[in-house]
Amino acid sequence: MISKACFVSIRTKLIIAIPPNRYNTGFCMDISLSEKRIGTQIDPKSVHGILWLQTHFESNHWESISNGLVIIPNKDAKMLEEDARAAGLNVNFINSLSHIDKI
Protein backbone atom coordinates (compact mmCIF):
# COMPACT_ATOMS: atom_id res chain seq x y z
CA MET A 1 0.00 0.00 0.00
CA ILE A 2 1.30 3.45 -0.95
CA SER A 3 1.11 6.10 1.75
CA LYS A 4 -0.68 9.35 0.96
CA ALA A 5 2.57 11.30 1.37
CA CYS A 6 4.08 9.28 -1.48
CA PHE A 7 1.00 9.06 -3.70
CA VAL A 8 1.03 11.37 -6.72
CA SER A 9 -0.93 9.35 -9.26
CA ILE A 10 -1.44 5.81 -10.43
CA ARG A 11 1.10 6.55 -13.16
CA THR A 12 3.82 7.68 -10.75
CA LYS A 13 6.49 5.01 -10.76
CA LEU A 14 7.05 3.44 -7.35
CA ILE A 15 10.71 2.69 -6.75
CA ILE A 16 11.68 0.14 -4.12
CA ALA A 17 15.12 0.79 -2.66
CA ILE A 18 16.75 -1.89 -0.52
CA PRO A 19 19.53 -0.29 1.54
CA PRO A 20 22.30 -2.31 3.22
CA ASN A 21 20.20 -2.75 6.37
CA ARG A 22 17.70 -4.67 4.17
CA TYR A 23 14.65 -2.63 5.20
CA ASN A 24 12.54 -1.89 2.14
CA THR A 25 11.72 1.73 1.55
CA GLY A 26 9.67 3.07 -1.31
CA PHE A 27 9.52 6.47 -2.90
CA CYS A 28 7.75 7.90 -5.91
CA MET A 29 9.62 9.66 -8.66
CA ASP A 30 8.29 12.03 -11.32
CA ILE A 31 11.57 13.00 -13.05
CA SER A 32 14.96 11.34 -13.07
CA LEU A 33 18.04 13.43 -13.87
CA SER A 34 21.20 11.43 -14.60
CA GLU A 35 24.52 13.19 -14.91
CA LYS A 36 26.50 12.07 -17.96
CA ARG A 37 29.88 13.18 -19.31
CA ILE A 38 28.31 15.64 -21.75
CA GLY A 39 25.46 16.91 -19.57
CA THR A 40 22.41 15.65 -17.67
CA GLN A 41 19.85 13.27 -19.13
CA ILE A 42 16.17 14.01 -18.44
CA ASP A 43 13.96 10.97 -17.97
CA PRO A 44 10.34 11.59 -16.97
CA LYS A 45 8.91 8.79 -14.82
CA SER A 46 5.28 9.87 -14.43
CA VAL A 47 2.53 11.71 -16.25
CA HIS A 48 3.04 14.62 -13.85
CA GLY A 49 6.73 14.73 -14.75
CA ILE A 50 5.97 14.76 -18.48
CA LEU A 51 3.29 17.44 -18.17
CA TRP A 52 5.54 19.63 -16.02
CA LEU A 53 8.43 19.27 -18.49
CA GLN A 54 6.10 20.24 -21.35
CA THR A 55 5.66 23.63 -19.70
CA HIS A 56 9.44 24.16 -19.82
CA PHE A 57 10.31 22.98 -23.34
CA GLU A 58 9.03 23.69 -26.85
CA SER A 59 6.55 21.22 -28.35
CA ASN A 60 9.02 19.95 -30.96
CA HIS A 61 11.13 18.48 -28.10
CA TRP A 62 8.30 16.73 -26.22
CA GLU A 63 8.63 13.33 -27.91
CA SER A 64 12.38 13.18 -27.28
CA ILE A 65 11.86 14.24 -23.67
CA SER A 66 9.16 11.61 -23.06
CA ASN A 67 11.52 8.94 -24.43
CA GLY A 68 14.41 10.03 -22.18
CA LEU A 69 16.56 11.12 -25.13
CA VAL A 70 17.34 14.68 -24.03
CA ILE A 71 20.59 15.81 -22.41
CA ILE A 72 20.94 19.36 -21.11
CA PRO A 73 23.90 21.21 -19.53
CA ASN A 74 24.50 20.32 -15.85
CA LYS A 75 23.94 23.94 -14.75
CA ASP A 76 20.53 24.00 -16.44
CA ALA A 77 19.66 20.61 -14.91
CA LYS A 78 20.30 21.95 -11.40
CA MET A 79 17.94 24.89 -12.09
CA LEU A 80 15.36 22.51 -13.58
CA GLU A 81 15.61 20.29 -10.49
CA GLU A 82 15.07 23.25 -8.14
CA ASP A 83 12.04 24.44 -10.15
CA ALA A 84 10.52 20.95 -10.25
CA ARG A 85 10.97 20.43 -6.51
CA ALA A 86 9.45 23.87 -5.84
CA ALA A 87 6.45 22.80 -7.94
CA GLY A 88 6.01 19.71 -5.75
CA LEU A 89 7.49 17.08 -8.05
CA ASN A 90 9.71 14.28 -6.82
CA VAL A 91 13.05 14.50 -8.59
CA ASN A 92 15.90 12.02 -8.38
CA PHE A 93 19.24 13.55 -9.37
CA ILE A 94 21.83 10.84 -9.97
CA ASN A 95 25.40 12.08 -10.00
CA SER A 96 27.63 10.20 -12.37
CA LEU A 97 29.87 7.47 -11.15
CA SER A 98 33.10 7.70 -13.06
CA HIS A 99 35.64 4.97 -13.40
CA ILE A 100 39.18 5.10 -14.62
CA ASP A 101 39.87 3.37 -17.89
CA LYS A 102 42.73 0.91 -17.86
CA ILE A 103 45.86 2.21 -19.54
The domain spans of the chain are 30-94
Query: Maximum CA pair distance of the chain?
Result: 51
The Cα angle at residue 74 between residues 71 and 78, in degrees rounded to 5: 110
What was the pLDDT predicted at 53? Answer: 94
Tell me how far apart the alpha carbons of residues 7 and 12 are, in angstroms, rounded to a whole number: 8
DSSP string, 44-71: E-SHHHHHHHHTTS-GGGHHHHHTT-EE
What was the pLDDT predicted at 29? Answer: 86
List the chain pLDDT tens, one digit each, 103 residues: 444 444 445 555 555 555 555 554 455 789 999 998 899 999 999 999 999 999 999 999 999 999 999 999 999 999 999 999 999 999 998 876 655 555 5
Tell me how far apart the alpha carbons of residues 3 and 81 are, in angstroms, rounded to a whole number: 24
* Whether the Cβ atoms of residue 3 and residue 16 lie closer than 8 Å to each other: no
